[in-house]
Amino acid sequence: MEGMIQTFSAIVLRPTPFQEGGLVVSFLTELGERIVGLARGAKKPSAKWVSAFEPLGLVRVSFFGKENAEFKRVTRCDLVHSPLTLGALESNLVVACLADVFDRVAREGVEDERLFRLLSACGRSLKARPDRAMATLAYAEHWILHCMGLMPHPRLCGRCGNGEAPLVLFTEDHGWRCAACTPVDPSEALPPGTREHLRLLRTLPADEAPDPAGTEAAKAVTRILRDRLRRELGGARSYEVLDKLVV
Ligand SMILES: [Zn+2]
Distance 146 CA to ligand 1 centre (A): 21
d(CA 154, CA 175): 8
d(CA 76, CA 137): 30
Distance 221 CA to ligand 1 centre (A): 18
Decide if pLDDT at 176 tops 90. Answer: yes
Residue-wise pLDDT tens digits, 122-148: 999 999 999 999 999 999 999 999 999
Which residues are registered as beta bridge partners of 65?
4
Distance 140 CA to ligand 1 centre (A): 27
Distance 162 CA to ligand 1 centre (A): 5
Distance 230 CA to ligand 1 centre (A): 26
Query: Which of 45, 60, 81 corresponds to the end of one domain?
Result: 81
For residue 218, give every residue at least 6 positions away whose Cβ sits within 8 Å of its Cβ, in sequence order, or none: 193, 197, 210, 211, 212
Does one domain contain both 66 and 140? no
Distance 206 CA to ligand 1 centre (A): 30
Domain holding 202, by residue range, is 89-245
Does one domain contain both 99 and 120? yes
Decide if pLDDT at 247 tops 90. Answer: no
Give 167: exposed, middle or buried? Use CB within 10 Å, 0-12, 13-18, 19+: buried
Does one domain contain both 154 and 175? yes
Q: What total of structural domains would you count in the chain?
A: 2
Does one domain contain both 94 and 188? yes
Distance 100 CA to ligand 1 centre (A): 35
Does one domain contain both 167 and 56? no
Residue 191 banded pLDDT, cuts 50, 70, 90: very high
Residues shown for the chain? 247
Mean pLDDT, the chain, whole residue set: 91
Does one domain contain both 67 and 108? no
Decide if pLDDT at 40 tops 90. Answer: no
Decide if pLDDT at 46 tops 60. Answer: no
Q: What is the CATH number of the domain that holds 10?
A: 2.40.50.140
Q: Are 171 and 104 in contact (CB under 8 A)?
A: no
Does one domain contain both 135 and 239? yes
Residue 44 banded pLDDT, cuts 50, 70, 90: low
Does one domain contain both 68 and 181? no
Distance 145 CA to ligand 1 centre (A): 22
Which residues are registered as beta bridge partners of 177?
169
Does one domain contain both 171 and 240? yes
Does one domain contain both 72 and 93? no
Q: What is the CATH number of the domain that holds 208?
A: 1.20.1440.120
d(CA 196, CA 212): 13
For residue 211, give every residue at least 6 positions away whose Cβ sits within 8 Å of its Cβ, in sequence order, or none: 135, 218
Does one domain contain both 97 and 117? yes
Query: Which of 61, 81, 101 corresponds to the end of one domain?
Result: 81
Query: Which of 36, 58, 81 corresponds to the end of one domain?
Result: 81
- How far is C-alpha 101 from the geometric centre of its chain's CA atoms? 5
Does one domain contain both 180 and 60? no
Distance 204 CA to ligand 1 centre (A): 26
C-alpha triplet 93, 60, 46: angle, nearest 5°: 80
